[in-house]
Structure 1
Amino acid sequence: MADDDATQIRTLIERWAVAVHEGDLDTVLADHADDIVMFDVPPPEDGVRGIDAYRKSWPPFFEWQRQGAAFEILSLDVTAGGDVAFAHALLRCGTPKELEEDPANRLRLTVGLRKDNGRWTVTHEHHSFPDKT
């Protein structure tokens, strides 16, 4: 069962990443719990809490994406239990200029999930870049 769950979660995260890159808000929100908590690169420092706040956080990112930015999963590892799971990934994320200046820079993604009524839902996202200062 865990292998099937891991495959379902991998598919969910890959679909989410494509939706983020395409600016497809409905698909970005799909599979996220009403009580989602996200710790993101930009403020607020104490995180984004709840699906409404999560929804409101995406339009500025989509605007930034329209500059030709990349948002692409390079590696993704999933660990699934019976009703909770987590995944971590490295993504290529940046404008062409940013990626030219620092091609090795990676966005780090950690996702926490729970199974509700047989369906995996994202309850936590954490996005970060390494501190290069």
Structure 2
Amino acid sequence: MMNQERMNPDAEQVCQLLLAWANATRTGARDAILQGHDPDALIYDVLPPLLYHGTDAYRAGWGDWQPQTQGDDVFEFTALNVVAGADVAFACGLIKCGGILVDGRTFDDLVRATFCLQKRADAWLVTHQHISKPAGG
């Protein structure tokens, strides 16, 4: 569910960029996942090492923790709020993720997400991404 307020054009662009990111993640389109990210983005994620300095470091870690699944995966915003100014924006929300592992077991998680973006040469880029899971969740 997206925030229901009328979004300005910049907020709409940010929203579309993040929806494309979620779709690329869900479908495993690895070349597209970080397309809207600054190469020097600071990325926090739920699994070790937790902090990645730049998209190259983040991409290099995918093989260590990205689960192998079968069938359709779930990775979608259940809530997304976007605020955008002329050259900076932030967004936050909840992401439902899950799927069926190759051994048939299923997993289902709800994670929190925060994004900071900067507008450069008329394009929005994620400069900070923070995905976290509630303790004990």
Same fold by TM (over 0.5)? yes
Higher relative strand content:
2
Moved more, 7-16 or 24-33: 24-33
Tell me the TM-score normalized by structure 2. 0.82
Q: 1:32 matched to which residue of 2?
A: 37
Secondary structure at the residue paired with 2:48?
coil
**Could you say what the CA RMSD is over the residues aligned between the two structures, in angstroms?**
1.9
Contact 1:110-1:125 within 8 A present in 2 as well: yes
Contact 1:84-1:115 within 8 A present in 2 as well: yes
* 2:89 is the counterpart of 1:66: no
Higher relative helix content:
1
How many residues matched? 125
Cα distance, 1:59 vs. partner? 3.7
- Between the two proteins, what is the percent identity of the paired residues? 40
Cα distance, 1:87 vs. partner? 0.3
Q: C-alpha distance in 2, partners of 1:84/1:57?
A: 28
Distance 1:77 1:95, change over 3 A: same
Cα distance, 1:94 vs. partner? 2.4
Q: C-alpha distance in 2, partners of 1:82/1:89?
A: 21
For structure 2, the residue ranges without an aligned partner over 5 or more in a row are 1-6, 101-105
